[in-house]
Every structure is written in C-alpha cells, then in structure tokens.
Amino acid sequence: MMRRFDMRLPAIVRLERTNEARTNEARTNEARTNEELIGEAPENEFHTETQNVSARGVFFYLDRPVEAGTRCEVTLTFPPHITLTDAVRVRFTARVIRVESPLPSLRIGTAAMIEDYEFLRSTGSSDFLTALSRGAAN
C-alpha cells in the first residue's frame, strides 16, 4: 500500500477543457484583442490546497465538481521544512479518479492519480549546474 502524507500545500490546478469549452473559447478569443487577454487567469485554472500527497496521487479541493477521468495539471511547491533544502516546485499531469462532496460546501474534494511529473527550476536562485555552466562560459 502506498503511503499518503497529510500535507496542506498551495497548489495550482489546470483542468483539461472539453471540446465544447475549447470551441467557446476560440469564439471568445476571436472577439478580443491581445491587450484584453494580458493578465487574465484562464477559466480552467484554480488556486487551491492539497489535503494529502503520495507518490502516485494527490487529493486537493476545488470550488466546483469535475468528472472522473478529467485530465489536469497540478503544480505544487514543497517548502524547505519538507525538502530539508530549498523549496522545490513540481508539476505533474494527473487524471481525476474520485470526487467527494460530503457536505454542502464550497470545497469539493478531488482525488487524482499522477501520470507524469517534472521538477521545475526555481526562478529566484541558480542551482549548482547553472553556476557551473556560467563559470565554464567565462
């Protein structure tokens, strides 16, 4: 059995859009100029938090239900007290496998199975390999 770790971490979740949503977005974008789109958050992107994380899955909260089978992209930042080094950002693709709404609430629990992941470079500090390559270039 895979061990779950109770972790309340900030998360950014991007849900895959349905074909109908893509068609509607294309129509909307035709009517807008590029200047109107700058700074807008996509309608399928949510800032939320996790309840728990394991090597194969994550449980997070959304303000709306999603269908099981929906693909999503989740970005988490593991803080230094967990990594015992600098904060580490991880982005993964996942598929929703369960949706829970036990109480009338704005928070709908969503369980997703991780399919693929990647570690993201921090934008603020350079890592060892970056520093090494800079030194070699000089």
CA separation (Å) from 7 to 34, 102, 103, 123, 133?
Answer: 39, 20, 22, 24, 35
Asked whether residue 138 is assigned to any structural domain, the reply reads no
Asked whether residue 87 is assigned to any structural domain, the reply reads no
pLDDT one digit per residue (tens) for the chain, 138 residues: 679 999 999 999 999 976 544 445 555 555 444 444 344 457 889 999 999 999 999 999 998 889 999 999 999 999 999 999 999 999 999 999 999 976 766 789 999 999 999 999 865 544 555 555 555 555
- Structural domain including 105 reads 5-75+92-114
Asked whether residue 131 is assigned to any structural domain, the reply reads no
CATH of the domain at 38: 2.40.10
- Rounded CA gap, 46 and 14, in Å? 6
CB-based contact 117:91 (threshold 8 Å): yes
Q: How many domains does the chain have?
A: 1
% helix / strand / coil in the chain, to the nearest 5?
Answer: 20, 40, 35
pLDDT at 32: 45
Asked whether residue 53 is assigned to any structural domain, the reply reads yes
Phi first, then psi, for residue 48 (nearest 5°) are -150, -160
pLDDT at 101: 78
- Rounded CA gap, 138 and 135, in Å? 5
pLDDT at 135: 57
Q: Give the residue from 46, 49, 53, 101 showing the smallest Cα distance to 72.
A: 46
